[in-house]
Structure 1
Amino acid sequence: MLVFHDPLHRGHAPTHEFFRGELVPCFEKPERVDYVMEQLRARGDLLCEPDIDSRSALQRLHTPRYLQFLETAWDRWLAFQPDGRRQQPFPSVWPVRSLRSDVEPANFIAQLGLYSMDNGTPLVQGTWAVAKRAADAAASAAARVAAGLRVAFSCTRPPGHHAGADFMGGYCFLNNAAVAAQTLRDLGVPRVAVLDVDFHHGNGTQSIFYERSDVLFVSLHGDPASEYPFYLGYADERGEGAGLGYNRNYPMPAGTPASVWFDTLEHACTDIDQAGCDALVVSLGLDTYEGDPISHFKLTRADFHRLGVRLARLNQPTVLVLEGGYATADLGLNAAAVLAGFEAEMGA
């Protein structure tokens, strides 16, 4: 399989995050992708560095103010905290209801809160460069699929599906799946489906496409009543305006077994079939694994092979975009199982 990967991804390597009130080592770490790439090399996949600039797609998806902030965030931080080179800045205040978000404050920590949905998405010096290359990889994979390739895999980090038009969150800075979908549209694909199978709802992707009918967003995920991101992902969120009916959510309770999860996947696949889409982007979160330390579904490695088979049976030109998955040592084996299942169904 053709795989786009940026070998410089280790430049985004925050050391710690806040988790349930404690400072803990980061779950989203470079080793995640290192383990995946080890398995892809063993499989003999064709590995390429990104060669498409995603900036035009990013400018369609994210606001200019937010992109400017991300690109300059580290310099802004050092201007604010000259001795902060060895520190990780975190927001401590957010513009919640009744507070203004239309004016960017001069204070960097206030800026960070303006553009963050949580305090679990740490910035370091290399964050912008690595996030931008991850978006480039998604655009590169989408460009090949738009040109006629059956499937391509964007194997990068940080993930992207929690990033909205003007905010970061959930380890995500730029929305890679949205970049893939927008690139497909810009290259002439009439309608794109985004299927998000991460344990956590892709709130950023939903919000970006919520009023559009050219991109169908379908997600199956942990019930936001108890699972991050909490404030989006309910079944009654169906889209607005031109996008009404083009947003489908399938929340499930923690502890959902594979049998129920795959029954729900069938509903999601039916949505995609009925929408008459011309290409598919998969937010390939692998944190549905039974051994994941921060998620609560019960899929096994064999289930990921089954997932790959089912994705291939949608019979769509497909871009796979790596999202979550924090059982680090198992992540490569689980990703390889998805690819193997997809290729087995294709007859590759």
Structure 2
Amino acid sequence: MKVFHSPSSILHAPTTYLRRGKAIPHLEQPGRYNVLLNAAQSGGHDVCVAGTHGIAPILRVHSERYLTFLEQAWKRRAEIEPGLEHVLPSHFARPQMSHYPTGIIGQVGFHMADLSTPIHEHTYAAVQASVDVAMSAASFAIDNGFAYGLCRPPGHHASTESAGGFCFVNNTAVAAAHLKLALGCKVGIIDIDVHHGNGTQSIFFDRDDVVTVSIHADPSAFMPYYAGYSDEIGTGTGKGYNLNLPLVHGSGDPVYLQAIDDALEFCANRGVEALVVALGLDASEMDPNGALAVTTEGFRGAGRKLGSTRWPTVLIQEGGYLSAILGENLKAILDGFESARAA
């Protein structure tokens, strides 16, 4: 498998975040990148550094003012308070609040959905690098069938104008938009992260040219809480092109793998000809999130199922946090995918 990565991914290095009123060690650590990269290398995959793709791919799925905010937030931190170690919101915009503020305090609250996604000095550089990884992997898959992008920070909770859930720019959506533009076909997204891909859903919710499916733990008492339910099917021309498959907490391999079968069938029935897999490994039985119980062999089976089509496919890294088997889970899903394509 061709694997793309960027050493700049480790530049974003949050230390803590507020969870349920307490500051705890941040789960989205640079060490994730090192573990996953080492796993790809030891698994015998063809690992290379991503190329540079600029901001145009980002602007296909995010607004210009949002990208400007991400680029300027750290530089303007003194307008909030001198000496800040990170940028986080103190106020949040709600749906009935319709004006866009010029002050950075208001913009932070407008563009940031929670307290888990701090902006630091080098965050924007890491975000750009993550997009470059997604674009390099997608470009390779177009001509060569498939590739894996070791994206960090992750992206599937980022919507058109909002960061959240450790995510700033939606790498999965960027890859899908690139496949759509380059191939001119209907593109499918299958998100297998333990959390619902709420940002991805919102970006494509009213479109029928990108089919979105998310397999995740039941969100009724689990992040993102307000989206990821089975009655969310799309709107306008996108009605019937979004599928959510929330799973009972504690679900293991059989339920997870059946959901992947259902996701692939949903995409095939809607004319998908290219695929983006939002590859979260946090459905693992040993992940710190602890919501699902997928084994390493379950991930191998997931890889085989996702590789069973002949669609150009790009796998984009989303969640999956530090545990003793994180690297083995990545090896398993990549090996499963490759074995299906070789059959």
The alignment's TM-score, normalised by the length of structure 2, stands at 0.96
Q: Distance in 1 between matches of 2:300 and 2:70?
A: 37
Q: Please state whether the residue corresponding to 2:207 is helix, strand or coil.
A: coil
Q: Distance in 2 between matches of 1:18 and 1:82?
A: 21
Aligned residue number for residue 26 of structure 1: 26
Q: Distance in 2 between matches of 1:91 and 1:329?
A: 34
Deviation per residue, 1:68-126 (Å, 9 max, x gap): 00011110113433322xx12221211124323x32241x3322111011111111111
Deviation per residue, 1:144-175 (Å, 9 max, x gap): 122x2111000020100000000000000000
Q: Distance in 2 between matches of 1:60 and 1:176?
A: 11
Aligned residue number for residue 39 of structure 1: 39
Q: Please state whether the residue corresponding to 1:225 is helix, strand or coil.
A: helix
Indicate whether 1:98 and 2:96 are aligned: yes
Distance apart, 1:54 and its partner CA: 4.9
Quick one: which of 276, 289, 307 aligns to 1:312?
Answer: 307
Aligned residue number for residue 76 of structure 1: 76
Q: Distance in 1 between matches of 2:54 and 2:280?
A: 21
Distance apart, 1:329 and its partner CA: 3.8
Q: Distance in 2 between matches of 1:68 and 1:157?
A: 20
Q: Distance in 2 between matches of 1:118 and 1:136?
A: 25
Indicate whether 1:266 and 2:264 are aligned: no
Aligned residue number for residue 220 of structure 1: 215
Aligned partners of 1:238 and 1:247 also within 8 Å: yes
Q: Please state whether the residue corresponding to 2:189 is helix, strand or coil.
A: strand
Aligned residue number for residue 163 of structure 1: 158
Q: Distance in 1 between matches of 2:323 and 2:109?
A: 29
Unpaired runs of at least 5, structure 2 = none
Quick one: which of 119, 122, 127 aligns to 2:123?
Answer: 127
Aligned residue number for residue 50 of structure 2: 50
Q: Distance in 2 between matches of 1:143 and 1:31?
A: 27
Greater Cα offset, 253-262 or 310-319? 253-262
Q: 1:202 to 1:285 in 2, by over 3 A?
A: same
Q: Please state whether the residue corresponding to 2:215 is helix, strand or coil.
A: strand
Deviation per residue, 1:262-306 (Å, 9 max, x gap): 222221111012122111000000000001112410101111111
Aligned residue number for residue 116 of structure 1: 112
Q: Tell me which amino acid in the other structure corresponds to 1:103.
A: Y
Quick one: which of 82, 85, 88 aligns to 2:86?
Answer: 88
Aligned partners of 1:115 and 1:168 also within 8 Å: yes
Q: Distance in 1 between matches of 2:251 and 2:46?
A: 35
Distance apart, 1:48 and its partner CA: 1.8
Let me know the Cα RMSD of the aligned residues. 1.4
Q: 1:181 to 1:52 in 2, by over 3 A?
A: farther
Aligned residue number for residue 62 of structure 2: 62
Deviation per residue, 1:299-340 (Å, 9 max, x gap): 011111111111111221110000001134422111111001
Q: Please state whether the residue corresponding to 1:249 is helix, strand or coil.
A: strand
Aligned residue number for residue 149 of structure 1: 144
Q: Tell me which amino acid in the other structure corresponds to 1:322.
A: Q
Q: Please state whether the residue corresponding to 1:313 is helix, strand or coil.
A: coil
Unpaired runs of at least 5, structure 1 = none
Runs of 4+ residues over 3 Å off in structure 1: none
Query: How many residues align structurally?
Result: 343
Aligned partners of 2:151 and 2:171 also within 8 Å: no
